[in-house]
Structures are given as structure tokens and as C-alpha cells.
Structure 1
Amino acid sequence: MRLFNKALIKNIDWWLVSCYIVLIFIGWMNIYASIHSTEVASIFDLAGRSGKQFIWMAASIACAATILLVIDPRIYDSLSVPVYLAVLLLLIAVIFLGTEVKGSRSWFEFGPVRFQPAEISKISTSLMLATLMSQFGFKMSRFRNFASVAAVILVPMLIIIAQSETGSALVYVGFIFVLYREGLSGWTIFLLGMFISIFILTLTVSPYAAILVLAIVASLCNTIYTSRMKRWCMYYLPAFVVLGGLPFLLDYLNSLTDNPDTFIKGIRPEFILLSVCFIAIPFILFRAYRTRKPFTLLAVMAFIAGVILSFSTEFIFDNVLQDHQRQRIEVLLGMKEDPTGVGYNVNQSMIAIGSGGLLGKGFLHGTQTTYGFVPEQSTDFIFCTIGEEWGFVGAAAVIMLYVFMIARIVISAEKSREAFTRIYGYCVACCIFMHLFINIGMTMGIMPVIGIPLPFISYGGSSLLAFTILLFIFIALKANENHNFR
């Protein structure tokens, strides 16, 4: 513990603190707007969500002050391992002992208070990553170090998925940007994006289209890396043009006969494509071995992994994902229309945002808000309240506040002299960014509805408290560093 230190206070990033205060105040007003009615007449009414959120705001500000003025920031590095393990135990325990809320067993309930361990898991994982990656001699290129970091991220992520909290688990994908900053190859991020694209292409078009695109991208990446673009244009490009027309040729041949037992009827184009690729692969590998091109081997392995994913997509979609998750993905990808069912929330949210116009309808004057057309409007869909009542200008201002906060965290982290502070700062920025991107994306219909709060704004005590702790630990670390190195 430490006493009140005037010199240390001067080194606090008051811009970040001010941004935090403005965001939670905006959240409080919009929570009240989303539940405003004759039954909840006052914003301070403790029977309503705005009154309860005010209590959580006071508790969060008190917690922030304690982190800044009382707790010694040097303790976070030494406590990261026991805190991480303790949170893992909580994540496991909540599956068996927690309360089920909307199909997810991820909450502990203590009287009127609910607590979600998945929220504080972001803090413990960030601290653990900072401790692990700031150790002397750590290199992301070493398999042992990479495996350790991957385990730190994947273990809580998989446990949270087991709680049916896919949205909270998806936030952990953002940590890949932290790993990239600390030396992870950019090809890893590219592969992740490619595999997501393969999954979507297989669902929306066909396995053939997904495998063909994968083959083109894998060959192009290898060609660019080995500087053999002329060879690719001479040999690969014509082959891909022919293979691209194969489904149309088969459809034409099928149209020439009505006999369902003909040989042509049973041919699947993806199997022809795979046959061509797997005949070519041994020759490609042999040439790579002779010319000492190890990247070619990696490209072939990525292609094979993508093929396996493509043929596993249907099984994953039908047997791994839950019904509501499948329905939300189908609506998002345009595979089916459901404006009154699964797509109702998103449609009403977009109507609310669009009706706000440039300057909005005014505080407490939103019709979609007042009449409760958008479910979960004070939590997951609170951004549509901002869009309707504050308009484009207000919504853009809120987004700019987040952009400013994230950019300032990243810049401050990059200037840090201590690796622990730098890595933790990047973790904080990634967590806030992922929540911001997913939440606003789902309210505007460009992301599936997965139930994730807007940081500092959405209603919820455990979310507000967790993000407050996450942010102010970084502010305290940075203030302490500036104080020591001034």
C-alpha cells in the first residue's frame, strides 16, 4: 500500500480519466432514456436500472481511486499468477454452481447482486500475459513461449464457451494483436482471417468456391514470398481459370440429359478440384525441397488445414453451434430472412439509429426507445438509444471518444519503458476495441447478435466494475512509471 502522493497524482493521465468519466455519464443518461417511463420518473430512482447503475458508478469511481491512490502498482506483476488461477477456478465453479440466465450458466447470484466471472477474466488474462511476455529472454518465435501464451488465452476462452457465453469468449481473439506487437508473425493473423473467410464461403456459396479461393490465395502467397510471379501467371492462373469454370461445365452437361443415373450426375466439382490439387502437391513439395523454400511447405499445410475446415464446416454449424447461434449467423449472412424472429432486434435497432437523423430526436424523445421496440436496449443494444436520441452527430462523438481512449492507451503503452506496462496496455486497448467493434457491429447488422456490452456505457455492474479495474490498473502503472523515470 502507499500513501497519498502529490507528485504521483501529477503523473496520472487525466485525459484518460476524463474520457472515462464522460463515457460512464453518457451511459448513465442513456440507460435512463432506455427505461424512462411514468413508473421510473427519476434518474436516481433505485428501483430502476438508472438508479442501480448510479450506485455501480459510485462504487467503480471509488475502486478507481483506490487503485490510483492506495494500491502499489508493483504488486500486479507478482499477483498475476495466483489471480489468474483463482479466476480460472471461478470460471469452472460457475458452470456447476452458477445461476442460469438466458441459457447461459455464467453468473453467481448473491441476493440482488449478480456477478459474472467472465468479466474479470479479461483482467486476469491481461495481467498474466503481461507477466509471461515481459520475462527476460521471452521470444514469440520460440515454440515453447508461443505455446505458453496460447494456453493462457485459450484455457479461459474455452471454459467461457462451455458456459454458452460465445460473445465473451470472442473478445479473447483480440489478444492476437498483442501477440503481433510482441513478435508474432503477421501471417498468423492472415491465416486466422483466411480460415474465417473459408468458413463463411462454405456456408454461403459452396465448398468448391471455398477450396478454389483457398488454393488461389495459398499459391499467390507462396509466389509473392518466393518472387515467382511470372511462373504463377504462366501456369497457375490458366489452371485456376479452367477450374473456376468447372461447375458451370458440369451443370451444362447435366442439363443435356434427364437420366439421373448418368456418370456426370454423380460428379462433385470439389472432388475434381481436390484431385488436381493433391496430384500437384507432391511435385510442388519436391521442387520446394530442391530449391530450399520452406515457406512452400507452410503454404501447403495451410491449404490442407483449410480443406479440412471447409469439409468440417457443415458438421460444426449443425452440431457444435447452438440453435440460436445458427439462426443469428444465417440472418447475418443473408441465408434466411427473419424480421419478426431472430432478426427482430437488429431490424428495430437499425430503425432506431436511422430515425435519429443528423441531430437526433432529443433526450427522452426517442419513439423506439420510449415504446420499448428494441429488447435489451439498456444493455447490448444501448448504442441504438444514442443513435436515435442523439443522432449521427452524437453517435459519432461517442465513437470518437472510444477512438481517443484506445489511441491514447496504445500510444502511452508504446512509450512505456517497462515491458509489463506496455504489454498490459495493449491488452486493455484490445479488450475495449473488441467490445466496441462487436457491440456497435451487431446493433448495425454487420455482426451476429452475441450479447456483449458496450464498455462503460451498457447497464451492468460487473461489466462497469471490470472495465474500470482493467483501465485504471494501466493508468496506475503508467503514472508510477512516469513518476519513477521523470
Structure 2
Amino acid sequence: MRESDIQINRVDWVTVTIYFALVMIGWFNIYAAVYDGQAEKSIFDFSINSGKQLVWIGTAIMLITIIMVADSRFFENLSLVIYILFLALLVLTPFIGKEVNGQTLSIGFGNFRIQPGEFAKFATALALAKVMERPTFDLSKKNYQAIAFGVLFIPVILILLQPDTGTAMVYFSLLLMFYREGLPSVFFLLGFGLVAIVLLALGIENNLYLAGAIVVVTLVLIFLGKRTWQRTVAFSLIGLGLIAFIYSIDFVVSKLPEHQQNRIMVLFNPNLDPLGVGWNVTQSKIAIGSGGLFGKGYLEGTQTKFDFVPEQHTDFIFCTLGEEFGWVGSFVVIALFVGLLYRLIFMAERQKTRFTRIYGYCVVSILLFHFMINIAMTIGLFPVVGIPLPFFSYGGSSLWSFTVLLFIFIKMDSSRATQLGRLG
């Protein structure tokens, strides 16, 4: 049997089936999001978003074909080259890109444009897998931590310069892969602790109360244990550092663009300016809630049909699903995403090389972050940061980048027997 036949037989068709199921359900919902009650334009009409998305789907299938016929070693051997290429595109984007709403995110010619920040996700995943693949690479050691964090944070800094806070946040999801590969738990405890303090500082109107609580906890910790001057000084410095961190949060938030400040304020006060900055989230929650158990029916959503929710075909596509297919439809899509993530974890754990396993966990981390944050945005549990729902939201760059990210791993997984042969 030829090697190509072995690889085809080893393709994880469960994952491929879930991918196409999400893409097609998303396509129908994109049509629903632009449907205005008139049957004049069909779902195949290229003048509306559903027709344009069909073109992106067709080209995505072409990308899948190219990836699946390529040698899996191509992605491993050229991983750092691909990474450097997209770093160069990120550097060029603010200078040659198109500015929209104060952000310069895309580059291209004419109507054909891509967002390098979206594609740099899979490039960063490949680069991390490459630099971390050596058996001696140990994330418990500071020098290796510096290398891994350096590869991760370079694209983050370049994307923040565009500025695109939402996309930059996605890269932090790769810390989940770091944890799987041995990053000490103290980093995550520290991270979760700082996130909790930020949320408390933003949610509590007077930071003096939070600062007072930190002083009390610090004193309790000092007097509970053995009272040595070293221990007292250490806890005192930590307490003072946390208080300084609390009061720096307002300063940092004040430097964000006004629309981002408003989104943070709305998260903690949903009733703040419901006809202005809170409009999107309020209408999204109304749409999802009005769907009930089984929904209003396909193309029958009133919130959707009358354009109450802005950007409903992109960032808020999930509320279209909730309104027209209800809790049951939402549950089915969420189950598909959960099933996909579970399958990817299973695939990552069965890999024969560290490179492929690391890349697989990068795929899991990125998709999990997008899935959780997008849905959290639509129901008001997270600020609106422009995070699309993978394979579901409208957009060529989004669909292409997620497709490439996923199918590179599917290709690698299908070649695992060959990888084992090379290792032997």
C-alpha cells in the first residue's frame, strides 16, 4: 500500500465531519443574519454576505486540498520561515494596511484583503512547536521560558500596535499549551490571581475597599506564620505591589480607545447607556432569550430580520442561532464545538512526535479561547473585543486562518505512522 493511501486512511474523519457541519450551519446562519424578510435574494446571491461566504468556503476547500496533498514535513521544516514571514507582514500592516475605525488590520490589493494577525496564529503555533520540540526543552527552567515567551509575545506586541486588542488576547490562550508541556503551576496561579484583582478593581467603584482588604490579608499572613523580618518584608512588599497594581489599572484603562473603555464599563454595568454603548449586548441577549426552547424558526427571527443587533453576521452570529433555533439549536452547536475540542485533545495525545503534540495543543487552545469568548460576549459575560466564532462567523480571513490551523494538524495526525518510522 502506498504511503499516500495510508495517510488518507488515517485521516480523522470525525474531526473533518464536525468541521464541515460547523461551516455549513454557520453559512445558513450568515444568510439568516442578512435576510430582511424579502425572498428576492437567495442564499447563493454573491451580492450579499452568504454568497460571498460561499466563495470563501470554496477557496477554503482548495486550501484543505493543498494541505492534505503536501508532505507533512513541509510545515515542520519551514515553520520558522512561515513565522518570520508573518511577523514581517505584521510589521508592514500599519504602514500599508487599510485603516477602518481607527485600526489597521488588513493588507491586500483592491477587494482582496487578508488580516495577517489572524494567520499569524498558526504561524506562531508552528514556531512554538519547532523551538519546543527538543527533548531537552524544559519549561521549568528560566532560559527556556524566556525563549518560549519571546516567540509568543513578539506577534502580540506587533498586533497591539495596529491596535487590535481582541486578536492579541487570543495568543495568551497558548499558555494552556505551555501548561501541558511543563510550565510551573505558579505562573497560572499568579495569572488567575491578577485577573481576579483586575475584575474586582474594575467592578468595585472605590478601590480603597479593595486596597484595605489586601492590607488586612497581608497582616493576617504575616502574623499567622513565623514572624521573621525576611518574611515580614516579603509579604509587605507583595501587599504594596498589589495595591500599586490596583491603582494602575484605572490609568491603563484610561489610555485605551474610548470604545474599548465603554465596552469594559458596560460589562460591569449593563444598564449603562442601553441605547448607546450597551446596545449590542442588550439586543443580543434579547435575541437569544426570545428564542426560547426551540426558537422562532429559520428566517423568522425578528431581532435578526430587523437588524437590531449590529455586526450580527460576524461577532454576534451566535445570537442569530439562539433566536431562530432556540436552546436546542444552541446546545447542538455548542456540543459540536465541545466534541471537536475533545477530539483534538485525543488526537494530540496520540502523536508520536513532540512537535505535532505541541502544535495540536496550540490548535485546541486557540479554538477553545475563540469559542468561549465569542459566546461570552454575546450573552454579556465578557467585553465585546471582536472575537469571531470559529468556522461560523462571516469573513474570509477568519475562515481561511481557522481552516489552515486545523487542517495542518489533521494532516500531521494522518502522517503519524510515517513520523514513527522516521523516529525509528
The TM-score with structure 2 as length reference comes to 0.93
Shift in alpha-carbon separation, 1:143–1:300, aligned structure 2, 3 A: farther
Match of 1:209 in 2: 209
2:49 is the alignment partner of 1:21: no
**In structure 2, what is the Cα distance between the partners aligned to 1:72 and 1:116?**
26
Instruction: Tell me if the contact between 1:358 and 1:392 (Cα under 8 Å) persists in the aligned partners.
Output: yes
Shift in alpha-carbon separation, 1:420–1:213, aligned structure 2, 3 A: farther
Instruction: Tell me if the contact between 2:179 and 2:185 (Cα under 8 Å) persists in the aligned partners.
Output: yes
2:253 is the alignment partner of 1:309: no
Measure how far apart 1:323 and its partner are.
0.7
**In structure 2, what is the Cα distance between the partners aligned to 1:60 and 1:401?**
20
Task: Answer with 421-430 or 208-217: which moved more.
Answer: 208-217
Measure how far apart 1:390 and its partner are.
0.7
**Root-mean-square deviation (Å):** 2.3
Instruction: Tell me if the contact between 1:7 and 1:483 (Cα under 8 Å) persists in the aligned partners.
Output: no
Q: Give the aligned residue type for 1:75.
A: F
Shift in alpha-carbon separation, 1:115–1:479, aligned structure 2, 3 A: same
Q: Give the aligned residue type for 1:443.
A: T
Match of 1:60 in 2: 60
**In structure 1, what is the Cα distance between the partners aligned to 2:10 and 2:238?**
48
For the residue of structure 1 that corresponds to 2:129, the secondary structure is: helix
**In structure 2, what is the Cα distance between the partners aligned to 1:404 and 1:431?**
15
Match of 1:371 in 2: 306
Instruction: Tell me if the contact between 1:330 and 1:336 (Cα under 8 Å) persists in the aligned partners.
Output: no
Gaps of 5+ in 1: 224-231, 238-279, 289-295
**In structure 2, what is the Cα distance between the partners aligned to 1:151 and 1:82?**
16
Structure showing greater Rg: 1
Percent identical among aligned pairs is 41
Instruction: Tell me if the contact between 1:204 and 1:335 (Cα under 8 Å) persists in the aligned partners.
Output: no
Measure how far apart 1:6 and its partner are.
1.7
Gaps of 5+ in 2: none
Measure how far apart 1:335 and its partner are.
8.1
Match of 2:142 in 1: 143
**In structure 1, what is the Cα distance between the partners aligned to 2:348 and 2:236?**
37
Q: Give the aligned residue type for 2:107.
A: F
Candidates 432, 454, 468, aligned match of 2:389 = 454
Shift in alpha-carbon separation, 1:360–1:185, aligned structure 2, 3 A: same
The TM-score with structure 1 as length reference comes to 0.81
Measure how far apart 1:432 and its partner are.
0.4
2:365 is the alignment partner of 1:430: yes
Match of 2:257 in 1: 322
Match of 2:44 in 1: 44
Instruction: Tell me if the contact between 1:28 and 1:457 (Cα under 8 Å) persists in the aligned partners.
Output: yes
User: Deviation digits for residues 370-410 of structure 1, max 9, x if unmatched?
Assistant: 11111001000000000001100000110110001111111
**In structure 2, what is the Cα distance between the partners aligned to 1:39 and 1:108?**
35
Match of 1:72 in 2: 71
For the residue of structure 2 that corresponds to 1:74, the secondary structure is: helix
Q: Give the aligned residue type for 1:59.
A: T
Task: Answer with 141-150 or 307-316: which moved more.
Answer: 307-316
User: Deviation digits for residues 113-147 of structure 1, max 9, x if unmatched?
Assistant: 22100010101110011111112310001111101
Measure how far apart 1:483 and its partner are.
5.0
**In structure 1, what is the Cα distance between the partners aligned to 2:110 and 2:168?**
27
2:377 is the alignment partner of 1:442: yes
Match of 2:414 in 1: 479
Match of 1:358 in 2: 293
For the residue of structure 1 that corresponds to 2:415, the secondary structure is: helix
For the residue of structure 2 that corresponds to 1:202, the secondary structure is: helix
List, as ranges, runs of 4+ consecutive aligned residues in structure 1 with deviation greater than 6 Å. Answer: 216-220
Matches within 5 A, 1:269-288: 284=228, 286=230
2:87 is the alignment partner of 1:152: no
Task: Answer with 454-463 or 151-160: which moved more.
Answer: 151-160
Task: Answer with 376-385 or 155-164: which moved more.
Answer: 155-164
Instruction: Tell me if the contact between 1:11 and 1:483 (Cα under 8 Å) persists in the aligned partners.
Output: no
Measure how far apart 1:197 and its partner are.
1.8
Instruction: Tell me if the contact between 1:80 and 1:124 (Cα under 8 Å) persists in the aligned partners.
Output: yes
Candidates 327, 334, 346, aligned match of 2:281 = 346
Q: Give the aligned residue type for 2:269.
A: G
Q: Give the aligned residue type for 1:467.
A: F
Q: Give the aligned residue type for 1:42.
A: S
Shift in alpha-carbon separation, 1:326–1:479, aligned structure 2, 3 A: same
**In structure 1, what is the Cα distance between the partners aligned to 2:183 and 2:146?**
12
User: Deviation digits for residues 304-337 of structure 1, max 9, x if unmatched?
Assistant: 542331121121121x211111111011012861
Q: Give the aligned residue type for 2:380.
A: G
Measure how far apart 1:284 and its partner are.
4.6
Instruction: Tell me if the contact between 2:79 and 2:126 (Cα under 8 Å) persists in the aligned partners.
Output: yes
Match of 2:191 in 1: 192
**In structure 1, what is the Cα distance between the partners aligned to 2:22 and 2:237?**
46
Shift in alpha-carbon separation, 1:212–1:481, aligned structure 2, 3 A: farther
Q: Give the aligned residue type for 1:422.
A: R
Q: Give the aligned residue type for 2:52.
A: K
For the residue of structure 2 that corresponds to 1:107, the secondary structure is: strand
